[in-house]
Amino acid sequence: MIKFIKLNFLIFCCSLLFSSQTNAEFDIKARTAILQDYLSGEILYEKNPDQSIYPASMTKIMTTIVAFDLLERGELKLDEKFIISENAWRLSASGYSSMFIMVDDEVSVENLLKGIIIASGNDACVALAEGIAGTEEEFAIMMTSKAIELGMENTNFANSSGINHVDNNSTVRDIMIMSNYLIKTHPDYYKYFKEKEFTWYRTGGDPIKQGNRNPLLYKNLGADGIKTGYLAVEKYSLASSIMKNKRRLIAVGSGFETKNSRSRESAKLLTWGMTNFNLIEIAKADTPIAQVDVWLGNKPFVDVYINENIYKTVPKSRKKLLKATLTYNGPVQAPIKKDDIIGKLKITYKDEFINEYDLLAFTNVKRLNIFSRLMKSLNYLIWGDV
């Protein structure tokens, strides 16, 4: 007999006090932008998301990702020191945003990373790139290779800092993919991005304190990253993320006319996403979500689970239109092995099919001995009781 179980959803975001707006009515003053609900992966807003841009200092997100990957694999250490070349130092003396490192100084990987993330130092980017790959050109090849690995289909990196180069290009969609990877894969290192200031205790000079250039960190939004950018040809850009009530949004915009516009419109986009949508947890990976009947087993039920997190984002007030149903042919006959496919989890929205997932047994269930099976079968024949 095919059986059905309907799941009740848990809404992770609180009710907010703003009026709803439809996507069609909403717009921000940027040339290109995108907004993603991190846990569900769903795109809540997009405006020319695949238009080519010069990513400017948002390039530095990938510079740090390459380093973080090496740190995770044990091929690089935070306390490892690189000798600063004249090539790297020149960027600190050319009017670019800088950490202000000195030629022949020895600087730790951790300080270079903070100089890149917090102070947006172009000199620190070159020093890190040369220390890892020998030359910035070789490091840029590593960056582009990582972009291809992540599915960033419209991105090419020509340098580590994002300063003017005709072949350093991307899209806001690709920057979003990169930012998502950073947060998901390197949560411990991602914490650097929310630090509001960095003091560089340089050799042979007074300490230099610089504030984080991300304007959203100084607003009451729950922002914890990510990276600003500016080029005269591209205007202002920002990859940003906020975390509220266990829910994260990632926004990327480029082509803001002014610094103030970048801050205001990015905050507007993130607030709109939090205000107008609910994030719903349907299943948590490796956690039982229901019990199904067992026939001729040493247990009457077996817990079932999904082996991945499943979240869905829906417009507010439309939670009832999202449905999750467990279907299985039961009772399921023992013996049952852990991870046996028991049935399916089917998700629909507005009665339209969205996706289907395997329903797995959470534990082993042994078959009853022959005497117990016989008694249970007799009870069933007489009483119809399984």
- Residues labelled catalytic: 57, 60, 120
Element (H, E) at 198: strand 197-200
Provide φ and ψ at 259, rounded to 5°. Answer: -60, -45
CB 110 within 8 A of CB 200: no
Beta bridge mates, 332: 294
Using CA atoms, how far apart are residues 121 and 208, in angstroms rounded to an integer? 12
CB 311 within 8 A of CB 295: no
Enumerate residues 6+ apart whose C-beta is below 8 A from 46: 33, 34, 35, 173
Using CA atoms, how far apart are residues 161 and 230, in angstroms rounded to an integer? 11
CB 110 within 8 A of CB 191: no
Query: How distant, in Å, are the alpha carbons of 49, 61, 170 from that of 173?
Result: 5, 14, 8
Q: Beta strand 2-6 with 322-329: parallel, antiparallel or unpaired?
A: antiparallel
Q: Could you tell me where the DSSP H helices lie in the chain? A: 60-72, 86-92, 109-117, 122-133, 136-149, 172-185, 187-190, 259-276, 370-383
Enumerate residues 6+ apart whose C-beta is below 8 A from 189: 64, 68, 71, 113
Provide φ and ψ at 122, rounded to 5°. Answer: -70, -35
Amino acid sitting at position 30 = A
Indicate the SS3 state at residue 207.
coil
Q: Beta strand 301-305 with 43-47: parallel, antiparallel or unpaired?
A: unpaired
Amino acid sitting at position 203 = T
